[in-house]
Amino acid sequence: MQLKGSDLVQEVSQRTSLPVDQAKPMVEVFFTTVKEALQNGRRVEFRGFGSFVVRDYRPCSRRDPRTGETVLVGPRQKAIFKPSRLLINRLNSGSSLSGDDDSNSESR
């Protein structure tokens, strides 16, 4: 099952008792801020959840599977998500992901 932006807006609305039309701009501002930070080359970190970084990739050559032709791929950037150890441990142990029992510290 996937979580869509509209689902996130509904969840914020329910948890904060705000109407959907007030929760939606809050969610949009959050995502816009994260996108702008990544576009400016900044690392975005959420303790206990993970971090987003932009990784640079060098130019390389690849093979087109349909034609077999070698294609040059230019330099590019990708946004990469690295989950925190706390999140990984919770996913693997099946324990609650809510963060209520969390002391807000990660084992490093």
> What is the pLDDT at residue 105?
46
> What is the pLDDT at residue 106?
45
SS3 letters across the chain: CCCCHHHHHHHHHHHHCCCHHHHHHHHHHHHHHHHHHHHCCCCEEECCCEEEEEEEECCEEEECCCCCCEEEECCEEEEEEEECHHHHHHHHHCCCCCCCCCCCCCCC
pLDDT along the chain (108 residues), means of 10: 92 95 95 96 95 95 94 94 95 71 46
Question: What does the chain come to in residues?
Answer: 108
Kindly report the pTM of this predicted structure: 0.71
